[in-house]
Chains A and B, each alone.
Chain A
Amino acid sequence: MDIFLQVMVTGLTLGALYALAATGLALVWGTLGMFNMAHGIFMTVGAYGAFVAVDMFGFPRPFAFVFGLAAGGIIGAATYLFVARFMIGRRNFETNIIVATAGIAILAQDIILKIFGAYPFSQPVVIDGKFSIGDVIVPTQRVLILVGAALLLLGVNILLTRTKLGRAIRATAMSIDAARLMGVRTSRTYLQVIVIAGVLAGAAGIMVSSLSTLSPQMGGNPMLMAFVVCVVAGLGHIGGTGLAAIGLGILEATIQYFLGVQYGFPVMLLLVILFLIWRPNGLFGKQLVVRL
């Protein structure tokens, strides 16, 4: 029972982090058709944003958290305004944007490195403390990650399903031409989507760094896992992305416990290959129809 609880605590924490990271990636991928290689650096910027807010400006932790989210949103907006919007609609957009965003990621990582150096700072936006469930000790920070991720994803779900902005985003994702004909300002919608993705990535970055340390390359691994989640879940279903993320987190923790820690990530990658072969639209994704 204790082992089950320990594995669940680890799995749910990992799953919550993956869900936050993957939702933003999936949102941009599904709406703009843009695989954003800079998504990892959005996380890094969010994490450093929160760090700066506490360390340099002395903000209280809740404000610093919001500051980190804002930093993620701002780099998202900058990516769209200064790069992506000039490429959307052009030939080979899907391929070119991967290269362009990879370039942004490398550049931003270098800038962070120049400003902060490579020292592994601790993330100050954490909550100390722990409690026990039976014989298992649970750090409060992990509960915070789980609850925080759930609230953020719930918020995004409500935004997408119950608001005018959400309708515009969904309409744009389904058909940009139809959305335009219905009066949706698609360019603004794209900007809004990528800002939301940046905010979610910022939150993921703060939470990831609260369990590790800050480093300019810290977004790399979480982004890979976000990619895995997107492939397994498919695009176009926020709830599905969250469920897949939680499931993968628990699966990874279980593999790490029973087979060994080194097998966790390779099995995830194997899953990606299997899904791409046998179920390319993922568990919850919609079939893409190309009209000729």
Chain B
Amino acid sequence: MKSSMTRRGFFGRTAAAGVGGAALLASMNSQASAADGEPIIVGCPSPLTGIVAADGIEFRRGLELAAEEINTIGGILGRPIQLEFVDTESKGDDVVSQAAQRLVDRNNASALITGYNLETGTVLPEISADAGVICMHAQTQVTHEEVIKSDPDRYWGSFMIDPPETFYADGLLEFIKELETKGKFDRPNDKLAIITGPGNYSVNIADTLNEKAKEYGFEVSLFETVKVPISEWGPTLSKLRADPPAVIAMTHYFPQDQAQFMLQFMDDPTDSLVYMQYGASLAAFRDVAGDASEGVLYATVIGALQDEIGIAFREAYAAKFGADASPNSGGQTYQALYMYAIAASLAGGVGAAYEEEQNRKVAERLRGLIFRGPMGTYRCVQETQSAYAYPAQTNDPSLGMPHIFSQIQSKAEDGKLVAPWPYIVADFQLPNWMKS
């Protein structure tokens, strides 16, 4: 693989980026050059087409940027990383399974790294277990944890690099409570409207919100499940306008559907905070919604931070892929590949597909790794092989992936991080449609 970056140029930039572990990798590779060794194949089964392709494309980009950087400093113990991608077409278990199997059998991948796919959360752990390879993903589903706990010895190689979706509901309710405590939001009534898609991820968050709302003094005035993709929000908006809630929480996460909601909502907005799950963090949301995106809150348990490390990553990402690229999704696979490269180097190298013994050593290193990247700190919960959540599971931000809340304050740029400390870069602002 020919790199367009020099080692000197890389260090100039990565030093600024502060990418945790890059120096460690470089020192382990000091006796080797990336061009010397046989490539290590990293496979990425990713939704490159279809309804969530906006994310899938970024997953690919994140890997490409990380691989380029890592290869510039010698790859993994002198062996360059070679990426292979198979499109999962935004489809379910069957297609994801075929894609992952192909990467293992045909491309001889040593590891499978991706963001998320529209699967149940069981496919990649199964393939990884059968093929004896490492699998890292940001599926953000409690299903992963249940699978790992069901048979830890079988699923030794599967890692979810972020916390599960179950933290979202509590996190949102706590966030609103904090806004109220600080006098930044005064709810006009106690009603909460929940809009969800049909997928497990969205439904789990919506159900938990529904269960917990009462504890925070909310009454769920609307619980709407929509068919996806959806562009016609008329009937749902009619219900919202007939009985305006204080908070609208959309757990359906497709950015283009969320954008259409906001465009149609803004025709006649209600006096409600609008929270959107994940999708609003993507550039596509702002691009489609335009002015209507401003004021929207969103959250993610794996998003690019806006501190020194995060900004340096964002800049490098924008320089390579353009200003419209979304570091919030690309950063997931970027961080994962760095983690994998470090763990593999510490383990003394990787095994190919079906070479379980060496790959188990890599897994062992991943279980013990604490890695600070542009998305925050990964530390592995041993029994579930997923990431600790901050602030829900640890009050130390250096030991957990932050559940970040952002607000789009200008359509021209990513949302500003408004919680939690110490990552805050801007104050929450009451949306314009509520002020008026």
Contacts and interface: CB of A to CB of B under 8 A. Distances in A.
A261 B232 CA distance: 10
| Main SS at interface, chain A | helix
A122 B49 CA distance: 17
A118 B49 CA distance: 6
A253 B232 CA distance: 9
B183 interface: no
Interface stretch (A1-9, A46-54, A161-169, A191-199): A1-9
Q: Which of B50, B234, B284 has the most CB of A within 10 A?
A: B234
B288 A120 contact: yes
Contact of B260 (A118, A212, A265): A212
A183 interface: no
B24 interface: no
| Main SS at interface, chain B | helix
Give the interface residue-count category, chain A. Answer: 20 to 34
Contacts of A230: none
B256 A261 contact: no
A212 B260 CA distance: 6
B49 A216 contact: yes
A10 B235 CA distance: 7
Give the interface residue-count category, chain B. Answer: 35 or more
A253 B267 contact: no
Given A213-B288, A264-B227, A265-B227, A7 B57 contact: no
Nearest to A4: B238
Given A118-B53, A262-B198, A6 B267 contact: no
Interface in B51-66: 51, 53-54, 56-57
Contacts of B287: 122
A123 to B, nearest CB: 10
Given A118-B57, A122-B288, A213-B288, A260 B232 contact: no
Interface string A233-265: 000000000000000000001001100111011
A113 interface: yes
B234 A9 contact: yes
A117 interface: yes
B239 interface: yes
Interface of A: 2-3, 6-7, 9-10, 13-14, 113, 117-120, 122, 130, 136-137, 139, 208, 211-213, 215-217, 221, 253, 256-257, 260-262, 264-265
Given A130-B267, A211-B232, 11 more contacts: A3-B242, A6-B241, A9-B234, A10-B238, A117-B53, A118-B49, A119-B54, A136-B268, A221-B229, A256-B234, A257-B235
19 contacts: A2-B238, A6-B235, A6-B238, A7-B238, A13-B234, A118-B48, A118-B50, A118-B54, A119-B53, A119-B284, A120-B54, A120-B288, A122-B287, A216-B49, A260-B224, A261-B226, A261-B236, A262-B226, A264-B235
